[in-house]
Amino acid sequence: MNEDMLTEAQRRCIPNVSFELIPIRNLVSNQDYQRPLSENHIRKALEEFDVYQINPVKVSRRDGINYVFDGQHTIEIVASESGSRDTPVWCMIYDDLKYKEEAHIFADQQKHVKSLSSYETFKAHIEADDPKQKMIEAIVRSYGLSITSTKARNGISAVSTLERIYDKYGQAVLDRTLRLAAATWEGEDNSFSGSILMGIARIVVAYGDSIRDDVFKDHVGRVSVKAIIRAAKERRPGALGYAEAMILEYNKKSKYRLSLRTLYGGQPVNSEDEFVEE
């Protein structure tokens, strides 16, 4: 496009940059305004390395030196994956920026960036026909449920929890978790929250076939989800508090009582944790 045809407003929206392939050995990073390199982040990125996820590295060329002010993790990931710092990466070159200007750009670069929600990411994976997300969606739909962006009756908005259960415990545990949640509260508000689902998953993993689905439905379903939430918060933080609250209800007036120790791999728990009110 002929730049002479652009309006002044249009020109203000186009950064004055050029693009070059620059070998990583010719890039300087770790300025004082940058965060320290995260070896954990680099390791995880290498485990799922995808060349299509590499963004151009932002470089300030000052006094003939290429200073990286956005992309220091990118260059370390590429160097590790390729095995060489001679590997070139695409760089977006800003000429004649001052050090303080670099620091200011670095500080504000994420200011107006809207991150994808878990739901948006999940739906994109569905459109890409990625097998994990397709399987999770199929399991959810098999119980007449749907994956939603916000809370809705018979909808699950705790998308990251679904993926975490699937990744950590497998397809069978996710399937049984949803079966128990759907049968026990029949779509009651918050019955598909992340805490409830993860609590049930912990129970399924800990007790396996010792858990009777009919007893879980009848005994735990006698109390509302709100009551489970209150009891969980009184016991301990996180999914284990929810799991404990549900096991206590499961055990009430039951022939099939379960020890809370099993939730912790047989480790002792506080004496009051073993007490079950009748």
Query: Is the distance from CB of 68 to CB of 29 less than 8 angstroms?
Result: yes
What token pair was written down for 84? 């060489």
H helices of 170-260, in order, are: 171-185, 194-207, 213-215, 225-235, 239-251
Distance CA 197, CA 216 (A): 14
pTM: 0.74
pLDDT at 1: 61
Radius of gyration from C-alpha coordinates of the chain: 26
Instruction: Return the sign of the alpha-carbon dihedral for residues 7, 8, 9, 10.
Output: positive
pLDDT at 271: 36
Residue in this structure with the two tokens 């260059």, named with its chain if needed: 75
pLDDT tens for each residue of the chain, 278 residues long: 666 788 888 888 888 899 999 999 999 987 787 878 889 999 999 998 999 889 999 999 988 999 998 899 999 999 999 999 999 999 999 997 888 888 888 888 777 777 788 999 999 999 999 999 999 999 999 999 999 998 888 899 999 999 999 999 999 999 999 999 999 999 888 999 999 999 999 999 999 999 999 999 999 999 999 999 999 999 888 899 999 999 999 999 888 788 888 888 755 444 343 333 22
Q: What is the DSSP letter of 216?
A: I
pLDDT at 267: 53
List the strands of the sheet with 65-70, edge to edge: 17-23, 88-95, 57-62, 65-70, 27-28
**Minimal CA–CA distance to 208: which of 172, 241, 232?**
172
pLDDT at 146: 94
Query: Is the distance from CB of 204 to CB of 166 less than 8 angstroms?
Result: no
- Mapping DSSP to helix (H, G, I), strand (E, B) and coil, where does residue 71 land? coil
Q: Give burial (CB, 10 Å; 0-12/13-18/19+) of 252.
A: middle
Query: Is the distance from CB of 28 to CB of 93 less than 8 angstroms?
Result: no
Distance CA 43, CA 40 (A): 5
pLDDT at 2: 65
Count other C-beta atoms under 10 Å from residue 58's C-beta.
22
Strand runs labelled E in the chain = 17-23, 27-28, 57-62, 65-70, 88-95, 146-147, 155-156
What token pair was written down for 227? 């009551």
